[in-house]
Amino acid sequence: MLACIGAGFQSIEQIRAISQVRSIEEVIINDLNTSKMESLKSTVEKEMGIDAALKEKVDSDFLNADIIITATTSKTPVISDQFIGNETYINSIGSYLPEMKEIETQSICKSRIIAVDSLEETENSVGEMIDSISSGCVSKEHINEFTDLVTGKIKIRENTERATAFFKSIGVGIEDLAVAKMIYDGRLA
């Protein structure tokens, strides 16, 4: 199951992309705006043929999600740590300023794999990463950059509470170049 918190333009694009590489049978959607949730649900069901359910609040149902997307402009965490499962992949794409934070620090601290588009871009400009690094629970040496993921040189943190993977994206251009190169080389159709 895929859970999506935030029902704007970025959410549908994330769901489209993930459904191309993972078999998604169900999506649960949460947003403050009911009409946006309903619109996203309709698109997911009609365009992708995936069952979708609306959730007025983030609760224990999110524990069943294999993938959680957060695509909001929230200044406070949108999901409590207690609602994140042990082997969940978290794709946090919304917050992009020091005062914004979609994910609780403790959720990131418990993650086995932590990745960002660019450490240089996120360590001083993204609330989640600033708090996680300054708390001491995450060291820069254990954070994967997008290039580590592409090359397969993934740093895995040992002795973490969970087997979760956390990816913080702020949309650095290197991602666009990597995908363009893969398309050019014929590795993506």
**H-helix or E-strand spanning residue 186:** none
pLDDT 10s digits, 45-83: 999 999 999 999 999 999 999 999 999 999 999 999 999
pLDDT 10s digits, 96-140: 888 999 999 999 999 999 999 888 888 888 999 999 999 999 999
Cα–Cα distance between 118 and 173 in angstroms, integer? 10
Q: State the average pLDDT for the chain.
A: 91
Question: CB atoms < 10 A from the CB of 156, how many?
Answer: 12
pLDDT value, residue 189: 46
Please list the residues that pair with 43 across neighbouring strands.
none
pTM greater than the 0.95 cutoff: no
In CATH, what class is 2-184?
Answer: alpha beta
